[in-house]
Structure formats: structure tokens, C-alpha cells
Chains A and B, each alone.
Chain A
Amino acid sequence: MRADLEIIQQWVKPGHHVLDLGCGDGTLLDFLKRERNASGFGLEINPDHITTCMNRGVSVIEQNLDTQGLDNFEDNSFDIVLMTQALQAVRRPDKVLDEMLRLGGEGIVTFPNFAHWRLRWGLALIGRMPESDALPYKWYNTPNIRLCTFKDFEALCRQKGIRIKSRRVVDGQHQNSWLARFWPNLLGEIAIYRITRENSNDE
């Protein structure tokens, strides 16, 4: 099983109502539905992904976060809001984070670490925009327009009064990486953050 799914699953309680921003082909929601009896919706803009979601029985709404926002969702209407590997592809990740925690008490965010050693190496020594398993695009066609490092993300959370409840780090194949635990911002490729509002008094 993909390590990130396993990790996220542990943070979703049985019967949770979940919103998945950029749900892709619905793998995660389908997994959470089966493993955690979770309900909820995925938002997606890729037509093929939307079709796949519909075929596998994942409730999917075609909605573009950049142009349509999330105004159609009510405050606290979800238990958890997920965003896996999509934060770096939206125009205003900071606003999306605010929206996530408006809609749900808790958020789970995963994104590729731009400070991973291989990316640093590529930029520093080869002098070219880096590519990796987690970032398999050219600079001119990448949907990842808001790349950041784990440190950047954590700084933004501090600034916004967002509390990081947990952080787990996996490699580009979404597998657990023991190395990354020692020096995540250098050795971790993808981080999975569990976030909430600073003043939230759960757990």
C-alpha cells in the first residue's frame, strides 16, 4: 500500500465527512470510503480523472479552486479537508489553507519538498531547473507554480496561526523513508502535514 494513504488513513476517523481538494482519480477517497467508511466529495478539474471517479463511485465535483474558489461550501461542513500534491499547483496556497480550515476542523496537506537534496543538487551544480519523481515536469509546462520547502510551509503556518499536529515524510514513491526522519528538509521528498487552527482545542 502507498505509505501516504496509510498515514492519512490513520488520521481519518470512521464515518468522517471528507473534502478532497484536487482528488485526482479518486484513489484516496475510494480508499477512505472502504477503510474508514468516510463520506464526502472530491474536487477535480482533469476530465479523465473526473470520469474515473464517477466510474468508481467517488462523488466528484468539477470545480476549479483558482477561478471558482470554495465559496459554495459552508463553514465547518467537513470533518477533514484533504489536499494531496495540489497545494503547489494553486495560485494562492495561503488562501486555500485558510479555506481548508474554514470548511473543516482539520486539514491534511501533502506537497513535494523543493529543498530535497536531489533538487538542490540539480540547481546548484547542474544549473538546470530540477526534475524528480515528485516533480516530473519541465519548467515551462509544470502545473506546479508555487513550489516551496518544508521550512517555507512551516513558516507560513506559523504566520497564519496554523498549528501543525503531525508531520510525516515519505519519498517520491510515497514510501516511508527512514533517512528523511533525520533531516527532513534535505532528505524528505514529500511531506504529509496534519494541520488545524492554533486555537482549536481538539485532542
Chain B
Amino acid sequence: MPDSLPVDSVGVVTPQTYHFETPIELACGHALERYDLVVETYGKLNADRSNAVLICHALSGHHHAAGYHSMEDRKPGWWDTCIGPGKPVDTNRFFVVSLNNLGGCHGSTGPSSNNPATGKPYGPDFPVITVSDWVKSQALLADRLGIECWAAVVGGSLGGMQALQWSLDYPDRLNHSVAVASSPRLTAQNIAFNEVARQAITSDQEFHQGRYHDFNTLPRRGLMLARMVGHITYLSDASMGEKFGRELRDQAYKFGYDAEFQVESYLRYQGERFSESFDANTYLLMTRALDYFDPSYEFGGDLSKALAKARCEFLVLSFSTDWRFTPARSEEMVNAMIAARRKVSYAEIDAPWGHDAFLIPTPRYTAIFTAYMDRVAREVGA
């Protein structure tokens, strides 16, 4: 963190915890008797409460989307490039709400929270949460904040899935749904990568069937491997090539199996750091929520039928080198919207960074996102 805050930053922000005492019924058939959601907000809610934008986070995300928690913070929130004064999600015009989803590990109730029934962390007893469950909990949060209708629900990747689910579950409670680098459902390849990640975690000796807290340990190794394989899918071959090439840490081959290439040490570092800060059970839960997501499922695989009840307008954006959720996946979504005669705009943005491109401000991405959100703001007089 620099000595002074950048002018286009929302500044120092403080998360707030909302307690919910009414049980929430979940798709899996279980209910959570009570739960907490940790939330950050940026900007001001206008008088008619019409300028609220919900930000939905992706697999490893959380409520801290923009700004800094303290002047000592090294990095701002995960989507600081797009949220702030004068940025695409302009906090001078919008009231932005960002939460840590249920099942998360950054303060909202999740597998590492204490189970009131036992006084110990839920661990594997925490119910599997679906995208629909998240949307339901977000709607309850909206009630609490006095927001009847979002100007827009916005998300990237898994966050985009929540934005899509919102349009189906609460069609009258959002004007716009913005899905960036997202997918209407995972492919076999996507699920396969998730399975490798889960296997890495569950086969770690320290996993203890998810009860690692009881053993005062963490499945660090497994979580590290899960993150390493995940991280590869977030980047493109070209961007990895650009960043690391075949560069060695030392001058010559050592004819051993330690991390000799820069890319190896980078992945290890990323994996290790992640394994210190993220909960393994949450990782399992989030990947399962991804696997299960398929709003077309109850419509015989026909997403356009599911979309018949949507009322909002859609913006769908994809990135040319994203091979985790390829442009074809976004187009699948767009075509279903076209067939359902929903209002949709779509662009494929040329960017070299693979899936991660949705976090990186490129001129065209910023221009489109800004232009669209400007109109969203104008519609609600913000």
C-alpha cells in the first residue's frame, strides 16, 4: 500500500457482519439454523434505493472486492480494477455490495465456523451449498439492506453464474445481470479439473475426512496442489510463456526434481500461500457448487426454457484466451438468451491472460464495462 490512497480507490473499508437468525433451507435438503454473512459496501445508497449493485465472487474470492483494509495493506480488494470512483462499477454513482458467500472461509458461516450443535467447527458436516442457495442468501441480505431491486448483479466466473441464477430465481429483483468469463454449466473437462483438486485435498494425510481442525492440523499439501492445478487453468499458455518461458532459477540444469524452472517455483509459492489462507473444506464446497450449477437441468438441458422467466437485461463478456470458460461457453448462454428473446449484449474481448483476464483492466474490457454500467446508472438516475 502506498503512503496515500489512489484517487480512484474506494479507500479504507471495514467489513460488517450480518447475523441471520431465521433458518435458511438449502437445496441439499438441510437447513442452516443461523448464519453470518460478512459484507463490504462502497458508495452511497440513493434515496429511492435503486442504485445498488451486487458483486458476486468466484471460487476463491470473498467480500473484500475493492479498497484497502488498512494503510498497511499490500494489495487492494480482488476486483479493485473495476470497482471505485470513475471505474466501470462507479462508486460515485452506485451503492456496491460485496459479500463472502455462505460456505466461505473469510468470516461468513462456513465449514470452519463453529457448529452450534457441537461447539466445534462444522468441517465435513457443513452442508453442500449450491449457487441457488447463495442467491437465496444474497436476497435475504438485500432484504436486510432494504434493497428491493438491484440495478445490477455482477460477477466473474463462478460469480457470473450467480448473476445468471439471480435472473431466474428473483426475476423482478434485478434490472441487469452481468456475467463475465462465465459459463452456463461446467464441461466434463471443468469437472475433471475440480476432481483432481478435490482428490489432492482429500488424499492429504492431514485431511482426516475433513476433521483436520480436531487434529489441530491442516491439509496444506493437498490444498497447495489443488491451487496449483487450478491456477494453471486460470492462465493461458501464452501468458505463462510470456511470464516464465523456460527460465531457470539458476544457470543450468541440476538433474534433479526440485523446482528448477521459474514456473515451478511460482506455482509452489502461489499454492503454499493459498494453503495458509484458505480452508480446504470450503475449497471442496466451492468446486462442488461449480460442478452442480446447471440451471437448464430441470428443463431437460434447454437453458432457453429456464430463461423464459428472466426479466432483466444481460451483459455477457468472454475473453479470447480463456480456456477454463471459453468464449463458446459464454456464447451458449447468449444463444439461449436470444432463443428466449431476452435482451442480451455480448462481446468477446481479445486478451492474452486466459481466465484471469476478467480481473485485468484492458482498454476494450474497461470501455465496454464502463459503457454498459453507465447506462445501468442512467436508468436509475444515478
Q: Which residues of A contact B (CB under 8 A)?
A: 17, 39, 41, 47, 50-63, 72-74, 77
The contact string, 1 if C-beta is below 8 Å from chain A, for chain B 344-382, is 111110000000000000001001100110110000000
The contact string, 1 if C-beta is below 8 Å from chain A, for chain B 323-343, is 000000001001100110101
Distance of A56 Cα from B339 Cα, bound (Å): 23
Closest CB in chain A relative to B310 CB, distance in Å: 14
For B374, the chain A residues whose CB sits under 8 A away are 55
Q: A50-B368, A55-B374, A72-B335 are in contact. Are A61 and B341 (CB under 8 A)?
A: no
Closest 6 CB pairs of A and B: A55-B371, A62-B347, A72-B335, A54-B372, A51-B371, A61-B346
For B368, the chain A residues whose CB sits under 8 A away are 50-51, 54
Q: A61-B338, A62-B348 are in contact. Are A56 and B375 (CB under 8 A)?
A: yes
Ordered by A's residue number, 10 sampled pairs between the chains whose C-beta atoms are within 8 Å are A47-B347, A50-B347, A50-B368, A51-B371, A52-B371, A58-B345, A59-B345, A72-B331, A74-B339, A77-B338
- Tell me if A54 and B348 are in contact (CB < 8 A): no
For B335, the chain A residues whose CB sits under 8 A away are 72
Does B174 make an interface contact (CB < 8 A)?
A: no
Distance of A53 Cα from B346 Cα, bound (Å): 11
Closest CB in chain A relative to B308 CB, distance in Å: 14
The contact string, 1 if C-beta is below 8 Å from chain A, for chain B 222-257, is 000000000000000000000000000000000000
**Interface of chain A, helix or strand or loop or mixed?**
mixed
For A54, the chain B residues whose CB sits under 8 A away are 315, 345, 347, 368, 371-372, 375
- Tell me if B371 and A59 are in contact (CB < 8 A): no
- Tell me if A60 and B345 are in contact (CB < 8 A): yes
Nearest residue, chain A, Cβ from B363: A47
For A17, the chain B residues whose CB sits under 8 A away are 341
Closest CB in chain B relative to A20 CB, distance in Å: 13
For A74, the chain B residues whose CB sits under 8 A away are 339
Q: Which of A52, A60, A62, A63 has the most CB of B within 10 A?
A: A62
Distance of A117 Cα from B343 Cα, bound (Å): 43
Distance of A89 Cα from B338 Cα, bound (Å): 25
Distance of A17 Cα from B335 Cα, bound (Å): 16
Distance of A144 Cα from B117 Cα, bound (Å): 72
Q: Which of B334, B344, B347, B375 has the most CB of A within 10 A?
A: B347
Closest CB in chain B relative to A37 CB, distance in Å: 13
Distance of A56 Cα from B375 Cα, bound (Å): 7
Distance of A8 Cα from B46 Cα, bound (Å): 41
Q: A47-B364, A50-B368, A72-B338 are in contact. Are A57 and B375 (CB under 8 A)?
A: yes
- Tell me if A61 and B371 are in contact (CB < 8 A): no
For A50, the chain B residues whose CB sits under 8 A away are 345, 347, 368
Distance of A39 Cα from B348 Cα, bound (Å): 23
For B367, the chain A residues whose CB sits under 8 A away are 47, 51
- Tell me if A61 and B334 are in contact (CB < 8 A): yes
Nearest residue, chain B, Cβ from A56: B375
Nearest residue, chain B, Cβ from A44: B347
Distance of A53 Cα from B371 Cα, bound (Å): 9
Distance of A134 Cα from B25 Cα, bound (Å): 63
Q: A41-B338, A51-B368, A72-B331 are in contact. Are A61 and B345 (CB under 8 A)?
A: yes
Distance of A57 Cα from B176 Cα, bound (Å): 11
- Tell me if B339 and A77 are in contact (CB < 8 A): yes
For A62, the chain B residues whose CB sits under 8 A away are 346-348
Nearest residue, chain A, Cβ from B317: A62
Closest CB in chain B relative to A90 CB, distance in Å: 19
For A58, the chain B residues whose CB sits under 8 A away are 345
Distance of A74 Cα from B339 Cα, bound (Å): 7
For B344, the chain A residues whose CB sits under 8 A away are 41, 59, 61
For A52, the chain B residues whose CB sits under 8 A away are 371
Nearest residue, chain B, Cβ from A60: B345
For A53, the chain B residues whose CB sits under 8 A away are 345
For B331, the chain A residues whose CB sits under 8 A away are 72
